[in-house]
């Protein structure tokens, strides 16, 4: 029987040759990811259910990356980091990345890739909805809650319903002004925020396979904004080169069979697409930048697992080089590695860091920061009636802080171009 890549990966994890969409199967988990918001309650449930002296099923397979509330004076947030640290010591977890140490990484989904945890063909569960990001590596990644995560901690297994797949094919050569963010916002506008609920979103086509890994991660990252269980792109030479530069661990590459069954198929020619935003207050509220051009903004925000990778900053720097921002602009690198890369990576003779500083942007320390609002002292948090253009992933009411703020989700090119004018601006005006 023909299968999609998602079916094949889940079949492998269920020790089966074939699994059908709609079946509930028990999966062996390759990696469990957690962070400072969901780790402490997960560990509490684990101890309550398996006993105070219970040991996790496999310490090598548990990855703990604090990233949400890091640079804040909030004492409850600090307490949660202490709880992670304590659990990591008790369980002798080798993959804990402590805050305040040289091991601290930053936003978990980007750090997983950088640290070589993303391996084609594997199954990752994480206590964060954007765990689907890792699907860019031809693997299955999805978000779960604390109870499910505690179950995995004790048993290494979890049940999942095998999803139907939706196929999104992008033909053509990517124009300079178009980014992965525009592609996924295009899709969300077409299918809605529940258009892929309980399904896999599979991406392919010439344009997708021409993208570097970090751009592919932007596509899979926002599968959850369509309600998707996972987003997935089959591994190719680009994937293998990235993975091999990070780890020597074994992996297995799967492809969808030509006759595999899909719930639906969508086909786009990237040459016919243009820069888009998601208007307040929903990621599916798509409009072309041209159609809302001139809308006044009070802030520009470039950061998060979606839009705070080196590739995102390369794009922003192209626009910001030698110019001045007109509104407060936050540059929030996803990880420590990205932060250091800003200082090394050059564009036309200047480092990205110099370009951003000279343009008048504020560069913050790596964490999730204001993508999800966070404690009151979080850098970049929206206040009052802020109108923010942001490279993040969600713009439901209150997401970035203030309930009265409006957030336009956009590509790093659009966020940078809009920062220069203080109004929503099509990046083609600056390229």
Cβ-proximal residues to 382 (8 Å cutoff; 6+ apart), any chain: 299, 370, 373, 388, 400, 401, 402, 405, 407
143 binds other proteins (CB under 8 A): yes
Which residue from 375, 428, 429, 430 is in contact with other proteins, where contact means CB under 8 A?
Answer: 375
383 binds other proteins (CB under 8 A): no
Task: Tell the smallest beta-carbon distance from residue 275 to other proteins (Å).
Answer: 24
Find the helix packing angle between 39-50 and 75-90, rounded to 10°.
Answer: 50
Task: Tell the smallest beta-carbon distance from residue 2 to other proteins (Å).
Answer: 25
Task: Tell the smallest beta-carbon distance from residue 256 to other proteins (Å).
Answer: 21
Give the contact letters, 390-409, x = binds to other proteins (CB under 8 A), - = no. ----x-xxxx-x-x------
8 Å CB contact between 297 and 327: yes
Where does this chain touch other proteins (CB under 8 A) — which range of 103-111, 116-124, 295-303, 367-375? 367-375
Where does this chain touch other proteins (CB under 8 A) — which range of 68-76, 98-106, 205-213, 239-247? 68-76
59 binds other proteins (CB under 8 A): no
Complex with other proteins: residue 172 or 227, whichever CB lies closer: 227
Complex with other proteins: residue 147 or 324, whichever CB lies closer: 147
Where does this chain touch other proteins (CB under 8 A) — which range of 66-74, 109-117, 271-279, 330-338? 66-74
Which residue from 16, 17, 18, 49 is in contact with other proteins, where contact means CB under 8 A?
Answer: 49
155 binds other proteins (CB under 8 A): yes
Where does this chain touch other proteins (CB under 8 A) — which range of 85-93, 142-150, 209-217, 339-347? 142-150
Where does this chain bind other proteins (CB under 8 A)? 24, 26, 37-38, 40-41, 44, 49, 57, 68-69, 74, 76-77, 79-80, 126-129, 131, 143-148, 151, 154-156, 193-194, 197-198, 227, 229, 282, 372-376, 394, 396-399, 401, 403
């Amino acid at each position: 029987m023909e299968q999609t890549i998602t079916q094949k990966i889940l079949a492998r994890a269920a020790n089966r040759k074939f699994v059908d969409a709609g079946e509930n199967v028990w999966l062996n988990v390759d990696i469990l990811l957690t962070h400072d918001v969901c780790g402490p309650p997960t560990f509490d449930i684990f101890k309550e259910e398996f006993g105070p002296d219970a040991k996790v099923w496999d310490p090598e397979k548990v990855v703990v990356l604090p990233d949400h509330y890091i640079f804040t004076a909030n004492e409850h947030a600090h307490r949660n980091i202490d709880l992670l640290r304590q659990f990591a010591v008790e369980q002798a977890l080798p993959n804990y990345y402590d805050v305040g140490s040289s091991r601290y990484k930053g936003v978990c989904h980007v750090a997983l890739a950088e640290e070589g945890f993303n391996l084609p063909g594997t199954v990752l569960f994480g206590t964060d909805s954007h765990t689907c990001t890792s699907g860019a590596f031809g693997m299955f990644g999805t978000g779960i809650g604390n109870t499910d995560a505690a179950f995995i901690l004790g048993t290494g297994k979890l049940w999942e319903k095998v999803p139907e797949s939706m196929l999104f094919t992008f033909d053509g050569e990517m124009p300079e002004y178009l980014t992965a963010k525009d592609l996924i916002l295009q899709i969300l506008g077409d299918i809605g925020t529940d258009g892929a609920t309980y399904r896999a979103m599979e991406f392919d086509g010439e344009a997708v396979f021409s993208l570097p890994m970090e751009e592919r991660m932007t596509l899979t990252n926002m599968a959850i904004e369509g309600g998707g269980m996972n987003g997935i792109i089959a591994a190719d030479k680009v994937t293998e080169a990235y993975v091999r530069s990070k780890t020597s661990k074994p992996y297995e590459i799967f492809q969808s069979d030509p006759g595999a069954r899909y719930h639906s198929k969508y086909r786009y020619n990237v040459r016919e697409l243009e820069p888009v935003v998601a208007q307040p207050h929903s990621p599916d509220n798509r409009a072309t930048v041209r159609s809302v051009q001139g809308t006044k903004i009070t802030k520009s925000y470039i950061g998060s697992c979606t839009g705070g990778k080196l590739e995102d900053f390369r794009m922003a720097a192209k626009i910001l080089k030698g110019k001045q921002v007109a509104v407060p602009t936050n540059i929030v690198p996803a990880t420590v590695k990205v932060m250091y890369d800003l200082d090394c990576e050059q564009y036309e003779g200047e480092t990205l860091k110099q370009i951003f500083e000279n343009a008048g942007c504020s560069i913050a320390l790596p964490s999730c920061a204001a993508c999800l609002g966070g404690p009151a002292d979080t850098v970049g948090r929206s206040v009052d009636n802020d109108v923010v253009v942001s490279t993040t992933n969600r713009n439901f009411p209150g997401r970035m802080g203030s309930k009265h703020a409006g957030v336009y989700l956009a590509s790093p090119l659009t966020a940078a171009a809009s920062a220069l004018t203080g109004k929503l601006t099509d990046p083609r005006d600056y390229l």
